[in-house]
Structure 1
Amino acid sequence: MITGSTMKFKFVALAVAGKEAEWLRNLIHEISIWPKPITPISIHCDSAATLAKAYSQMYNGKSRHLGVRHSMIRELIMNGVISIEFVLSHQNLADH
């Protein structure tokens, strides 16, 4: 997907990571020896704008594809599947 800004790119990446976390959580639920309940999977993000948009209740509606991702991320957060934590760029292991 082509995006026009870094924040939009990181928001799309956050949505993909959220779906992967949801898949992993569902897999863990199927393993009968795993202790329940499962804590939310923590996703680190180095963009304050992306983090603010993910936790905001409303989406401004400028891009339809981002609106769909926003509602999906909000649902994952509210259902306790993921939690998003801010990490400084130089401490982010994913960005060398």
Structure 2
Amino acid sequence: MFLLLRKNKRIARNQLEYSQIISSLMYLASATRPDISFAVSKLSRFTSNPGDDHWRALERVMRYLKGTMELGLHYTGYPAVLEEYSDSNWISDVDEIKATSGYVFTLGGGVVSWRSCKQTILTRSTMEAELTALDTATVEAEWLRNLLMDLPIVEKLVPAILMNCDNQTVIVKVNSSKDNMKSSRHVKRRLKSVRKLRNSGVITLDYI
């Protein structure tokens, strides 16, 4: 449903109320409910001119939250290593020109960092979209690793962060030393950035 949302070409319906609800949901999505991050990110793109379809999708999110009020973030302490899962949703319809990135970091059996956002560059394939999502996640990975190293309760020798990716081509490109990609300089820069962190031992890649 959320993938098929398109721009409203009619008069906006209760634009102020829509924006206020989206603001509340964005706070909730960034605090304790990563499961609604993608939906809220998608719906927030229509705050300037929401239509009936956007309101129906918004009401669906509200009903979902009402039925899952018992859900939250829980930590068991195991595994005590930082892991990451990233993915991208390439262009889903004719109105979209940029893909969507998403990542989740887990530590101690629970989620500690997550994000869903529209990519800032144009990508021409699913591989480029996945690489861009991975690059966005590595920025957060490096920051989280530095944070863990500064905490007195954590061992100073923090292992490489396992970055789980579902695109084998991306993993091959990062692990390779060749620069034979026929992509834009923005995509190539992201490849070099991910490769640098991998070679320095900050991250390691695995296919899921």
Describe the superposition over 1:44-72 as per-residue Cα deviations: whole angstroms up to 9, x where unpaired: 11111111111111222532111111111
AA at the equivalent of 2:149? H
Structure 1, unmatched stretches of 5+, are 88-96
AA at the equivalent of 1:19? V
* Dislocated runs of 4+, deviation >6 Å: none
| Structure whose residues are more often helix by fraction | 1
Quote the Cα distance in structure 2 between the aligned partners of 1:81 and 1:35.
15
Is 1:52 matched up with 2:166?
no
Query: For the Cα contact (< 8 Å) 2:149–2:155, is it kept in 1?
Result: no
Q: Kindly name which structure, 1 or 2, has the bigger radius of gyration based on alpha carbons.
A: 2
| Structure whose residues are more often strand by fraction | 2
Quote the Cα distance in structure 1 between the aligned partners of 2:168 and 2:152.
38
Please report the RMSD computed on the Cα atoms of aligned residues, expressed in angstroms: 1.2
Structure 2 counterpart of 1:90 = none
Q: Comparing both chains, which one has the higher relative contact order based on Cα–Cα distances under 8 Å and sequence gaps of 6 or more?
A: 1
Is 1:70 matched up with 2:191?
yes
- Equivalent of 1:4, from 103, 124, 135? 124
Structure 2, unmatched stretches of 5+, are 1-120
Quote the Cα distance in structure 2 between the aligned partners of 1:83 and 1:18.
10
Quote the Cα distance in structure 1 between the aligned partners of 2:137 and 2:175.
16
Structure 1 counterpart of 2:81 = none
Describe the superposition over 1:18-77 as per-residue Cα deviations: whole angstroms up to 9, x where unpaired: 111001001111112211211111111111111111111122253211111111111101
Q: How many residues align?
A: 87
Q: Percent identity?
A: 38
Query: For the Cα contact (< 8 Å) 1:59–1:70, is it kept in 2?
Result: no
AA at the equivalent of 1:74? R
Structure 1 length-normalised TM: 0.84
